[in-house]
Each structure stands twice: as C-alpha cells, then as structure tokens.
Amino acid sequence: MDEKSGLVILKRLPDWIKSNMGRRILIVIGLIGILLIGLSTFLPDGKKEKATSGKTVKTAEEFVAETEERLTEIIGSIEGAGNCRVMVTLENGVEYIYAVEQDINTDRQEDSNRISEREDNRESVIVVDTENGRQGLLVTEIQPTVKGVAVVCKGGDQPLVQQRIINTITTVLNISSKRVCVTKLSD
C-alpha cells in the first residue's frame, strides 16, 4: 500500500463510520473488546499466592545456603580475594510469630476483711483455612541471627584483603568483626 492509497482510505473512513454497516461493525468490535476484558479477570495470571500473603517461608538451612551463596559471590568480586569458600553459622533458627486470640477473665470477691482476685488468661492461635489445609495465621517471620562467618580465600593471608572482606561482611550482616574469620585457601 502506498501513501496515496492510505490517504484515500483515511478520507473515506468518516463516511464509512457514518454508514449503518460501519456503525454495526464498530459496535460489534467494541462489544468483543469489552467481553475479552471481562473474561480476562477469570483467566489465571500465572502467579500462585502462598498462604502467607505472597511471602515465601524459609527454613534456617535455606537461609544459610542463600547467605553463603550471596557472600561467596560478593567476596569473590573483592580485589585480591580470588576463589573463596564461605561458611555461615546461626545462633537460632527462623522464628514465626502467629496471631493469637486472648481471653481474659477476672473474678473479684470481697469478703468482710479480705479481697480476692483471680485472673484467667487463655491464648489460642488463630487458625485459617488455606489451600494446604488449616494453618496458624502468620503475622511475622524473624530471620535467624548470624553467629559467625568463616571465609577461606586465595588472598586471605593479605591484611588489606582481610580487612576489605571483614568490612563487607560486617556491613552486610550487621555483625561485629569478632564474628568474622578470614584465612588463606590452601593450594
């Protein structure tokens, strides 16, 4: 199609739209568009939500593996570090805080010379139905606390490289330098 025929079509378009046939075709196209938009809300979008509002729950082992992998990558990119191995130890595992319902009953009795009070506290975890069955309603997940990090790398015997690695780890994990050990990798 050349430029002239494109202009001819554009000039005839208003007349075509004004005709009954043109209006009917535009209305049908519009209705099909609205129908497709409406149907798209029923189609799956490819995302599956977890029972914990889209968050993935990690175990302590997964946390350690991911942390070691990420530290190995970042330490390996430090100048002079070279090939490295990283080990992370934890003080505790992942802690889950669940929503609880509290029921507090207070009884107060007054006799002639004495007052006695009794308080009953009952707490129960709020349970919800999910696609995986009945589970407690997870409010928050507290990640494990890192106890220490050991790094073995080619440049681990050089003080400048050691300091760079220690600074990186203490900054990333928010731990003290006493909890980081850097040493040379054997050949």
158-185 pLDDT per residue, tens? 999 999 999 999 999 999 999 999 999 8
Tens digit of pLDDT for each residue in 105-117? Answer: 777 777 777 777 7
Reply yes or no on whether the pLDDT at 52 is more than 60: no
DSSP state letter for 113: S
d(CA 146, CA 93): 10
The closest alpha carbon to 123, from 99, 137, 96, 102, belongs to 102
Q: Any idea what the Cα angle at residue 10 is, between residues 8 and 16, rounded to 5°?
A: 100
pTM of the model: 0.53
Contact 182, 165 (CB under 8 A): yes
Q: Per residue in 2-20, pLDDT tens? A: 666 666 666 766 776 677 7
Beta carbons of 144 and 91 less than 8 angstroms apart: yes
pLDDT one-digit tens code per residue, 95-107: 888 888 888 777 7
Spatial distance between the Cα atoms of 81 and 90, rounded to a whole number of angstroms = 24
